[in-house]
Amino acid sequence: MRDEPLAHRKDRHLALFRASDRNLGDPGFDRVDLHQEALSGVFPDEPDLRTEFLGTSLGAPLLLASVTGGTPSGGDFNRAAARCAARLGLPMATGSLRILFEDPATLPSFDVNGHGELPLFFGNLGVATALGLGGARVREMTDRLRMDGLFLYFNHAQELAQPPREHERFDLSAVPDFIHEYCNPVLIKETGMGFSPTDLQTISRWPIAALDTAGAGGTNFYLVESDESAESFEERREMMLRMGIPTASVLISAKDFSFPLIAGGGVRTGLDMARAFALGATLASCAAPLVRAWSRDPENGLDRWADERLAQLRMVLSLAGVRRPRDLSGARLDPRPPEPA
């Protein structure tokens, strides 16, 4: 599908998630021992979800992660997400801006922070595209969109699913220069396979603002791009299942480093969020559930989805006997490493 126009591909992705999950394995949260405290003195209206991130005060520690932009329905999604984020004081990212660099007429579909109503608003680019464009050009575009920074995504596995298997090559050593030239916060993410301890070691030498795990156990872009009718599909899926690094495992490895962490990949409930905070994340992020909620009800679906997850998080904090998400860090962990599902 390499010849498929980018706009078709983006709308195909949105449609795919209306119908089904593209989750790979288990994000590993079930190995975090976060039990209720029968003697909790925290009443359900007491937990305070306000969270500091990159020097900004957020209404709650939930990022509406990168999904789309560049088509009329992508614009509808981004506007609905921005309304929800502005109401609740949540940070939000758009999907890849590559289509915007190829076709400037798509700008309105990304332009959802016209009055600066979002507490934090981020753009998104694949690392190869970003390095090709250069930090100054990308900065000019994200400033135009009143963005506070950029998510730079790595998608090695996804590229391998795209025939003909031409991996877009780039020079990893150019990433720090890109970040310096961009001169605004750069956050790093994956697209469903997570980061290894060696990756994290390398990334820790870059001047990044934060890292989103985008680990295995949630949406996986290798599966999104794979041809499910191919004879080899099941075998290859199993391979990816064994090689993807679950979100909880990435969080555990990343605790050794000082950059702020966003737990993404398979975060579905308030309990998943709480367990991610117990593992050291400052924010949780979600993508596929947003698409499903918006598809079911474009007007109110995202609001209802977010309100319910934040109510669940308050409930879990109350049960665990803590008042703020950050007070969860230090919860007991089951030392067993997550196994592939």
State the DSSP H helix or E strand holding residue 247, giving kind and residue range, or none if neither: helix 247-254
Using the rule CB under 6 A, is 80 a contact of ligand FMN?
no
Which tokens hold the place of 334? 């089951």
Nearer to ligand FMN, 303 or 327 (CB): 303
Cα distance between residue 71 and residue 122, in whole Å: 18
Cα distance between residue 20 and residue 74, in whole Å: 18
Nearer to ligand FMN, 91 or 318 (CB): 91
Whether omega for the bond prior to residue 164 falls within 30 degrees of 0, making it cis, is yes
Nearer to ligand FMN, 86 or 294 (CB): 294
Nearer to ligand FMN, 1 or 330 (CB): 1
Out of 71, 191, 249, 253, point to the residue binding ligand FMN (CB under 6 A).
191
Q: Which one of the spans 113-121, 185-193, 253-261, 309-317 is the region binding ligand FMN (CB under 6 A)?
A: 185-193
Phi (first) and psi of residue 78, to 5 degrees: -60, -35
DSSP of 19-34, one letter per residue? H---B-S--SGGGB--
Most distant CA pair in the chain, distance: 60
Q: Which one of the spans 104-112, 135-143, 213-221, 325-333 is the region binding ligand FMN (CB under 6 A)?
A: 213-221
- Smallest gap, in angstroms, from Cβ of residue 45 to ligand FMN? 28
Count residues near ligand FMN (CB under 6 A).
26
- Smallest gap, in angstroms, from Cβ of residue 41 to ligand FMN? 33
Nearer to ligand FMN, 213 or 318 (CB): 213
Using the rule CB under 6 A, is 287 a contact of ligand FMN?
yes
Nearer to ligand FMN, 14 or 245 (CB): 14
Q: From residue 238 to residue 277, what is the string marking binding to ligand FMN with x (rule CB under 6 A)?
A: --------------------------xxxx----------
**Which of the residues 4 through 23 are near ligand FMN (CB under 6 A)?**
13-14, 17
DSSP of 280-294, one letter per residue? T-SEEEESHHHHHHH
Residue 225's SS3 state is helix
CB 75 within 8 A of CB 108: yes
- Smallest gap, in angstroms, from Cβ of residue 121 to ligand FMN? 15
Out of 62, 145, 210, 214, point to the residue binding ligand FMN (CB under 6 A).
214
Cα distance between residue 254 and residue 329, in whole Å: 14
Out of 73, 106, 109, 124, point to the residue binding ligand FMN (CB under 6 A).
124
**Which of the residues 302 through 341 are near ligand FMN (CB under 6 A)?**
none
State the DSSP H helix or E strand holding residue 222, giving kind and residue range, or none if neither: helix 221-225
Residue 116's SS3 state is coil
Cα distances (angstroms) measured from residue 261 to each of 12, 40, 161, 323: 30, 28, 28, 20
Using the rule CB under 6 A, is 81 a contact of ligand FMN?
no
Cα distances (angstroms) measured from residue 286 to each of 166, 219, 340: 29, 9, 21
Using the rule CB under 6 A, is 142 a contact of ligand FMN?
no
Cα distance between residue 56 and residue 65, in whole Å: 17
Out of 28, 32, 60, 66, point to the residue binding ligand FMN (CB under 6 A).
66
- Smallest gap, in angstroms, from Cβ of residue 11 to ligand FMN? 10
CA-wise closest residue to 182 among 212, 149, 154, 215: 149
Binding site for ligand FMN (CB under 6 A): 13-14, 17, 65-68, 95-96, 124, 151, 153, 189, 191-192, 214, 218-219, 264-267, 286-288, 291
